[in-house]
Structure 1
């Protein structure tokens, strides 16, 4: 799947295209809605780069590969894209998938700018090839834990599935809450039905249930069960991984999907560039763009600056991420080494905790920023 330059873009550029390999979950069990938003942002930015003359007169071209949330498929895609001669890799939403892609890109000496995945250990060892736009999980989820404490929640239950990402999130929450007397109890959704989860919440007198599970299954039936249980009317449901950000959440749950706080990576107000891009993305998506779409756009903005500075001949070796500074849709972007993070990191993208307004499901309320 390639996103080739339009005739208008081709008229402004000449020569062979500069290929960018784009990784995104476009089929299930991947989070397809997130992949669609990510690709919309990537594609919009490529078209704007080409309208501005491309990379030293050559057009950018996306070579898109569907990861379908499969780490092995992602690693194979990296090998294929490297063989095709891509100058860099971009994208991916799922953390475990991005980790597989990052490790393979590092081994091949191929620049990879990860758009959305947040897992701290994106590679096993420090790498000079890989950089990331999204905040590390330890940064965002600690902000979420502080939000829980500030709202008076100390007895937390987490509905979980087996995953390195969910396990890391549970550990981060427990480490942040424990010094303040907070507890985190895990409820395994493989062994418990939604009704059994409700029984456990009532028995443990939990004040908050966090959904560390996939969407729509089992997140949607869990929310419905908790909302309809008269014993749990005061239990807050939370989704730190950001499930309520997407329109499919509101479509599946209606009013039950409101007032569920989640993490998103946007400023309180977009600047002129962000506002312009938001309008263009909304036209492309036929719905409000998520923060993931902005991450996609910013990814290409950064890579275009990198390729102009580094060249497009596919040379391997250290990538000069620290020398790249650009104006993104959500602020000024630059890269450095953050403590405990193995990749070059934008420290940090803006963080919000938001929820859908019960009075208007298409409107978001900002509950906390960080």
Structure 2
């Protein structure tokens, strides 16, 4: 039995390692592409030389573009993409459903409402130090929305898939209506900021934002990765996980809180960037298997790579104008979601 298990583990490692290496390579290529492309395109070798060495041929304007604009944006794309993908992976494991996604079960909409409150009603709200007002409101908005959806989806101690989707739609609609009301109450500047922010984009990420974004999303990702064994047990069913020593209710509370932290902080600074948390874990599950100890790091790499390439495309498709990356991810992710929904529906009626 031990020999068979060791052989299975070795076979899994041989299958997974190339996938992880390939995803890491994609992240590196996407980061280099982010540094080179934009309204002012730069030669890649020249851009890297300006960053890593005191290149005398590097103009001050080029150095400013790279260090003040593109480098923080590149890091932000990696962190936000990884955070959204890991959050989607954890949600799918928690609900044992490939349709679970922060944007589909109300987390993103709740976080958007919280951040919208901070934008429009900022003068009447307590100001937190270090620019934390908007992330804190987004976090609590996502947390409250997720708990409401989860409570509505529970039927006789079980999470209903239909109830999950319907509750997510209802909470998202309510949050959207509240955001619309905030837009009605906002002045011209606040309305413009709110409208552009809701489309989703990485243009607002700066060095100071990165100091908030990186540690909070990183903390959430590490905590979710530590739940890997419990999430694996939960895939067998709640009763089976309980008999294996998993406190299901405590696990559910912790995962929901950690997902709300990651998504809330990401949404606070980038707006709603949909479908990253749905598409990436679903595609990678078929490549690396369902074990969360491997799937969560793979999702982090895949989400980072996807958002890096998507943002590079969004910055160049309509140059010198910039297409909000949230629009592009929705255009790419919506067909995948429809195909996944059709597959789930076919399996339920088979």
TM range (shorter): under 0.3
The structure where helix makes up a greater share of residues is 2
Higher relative contact order (CA 8 A, sep 6+): 2
Q: State TM-score, norm by structure 1.
A: 0.24
The structure where strand makes up a greater share of residues is 1
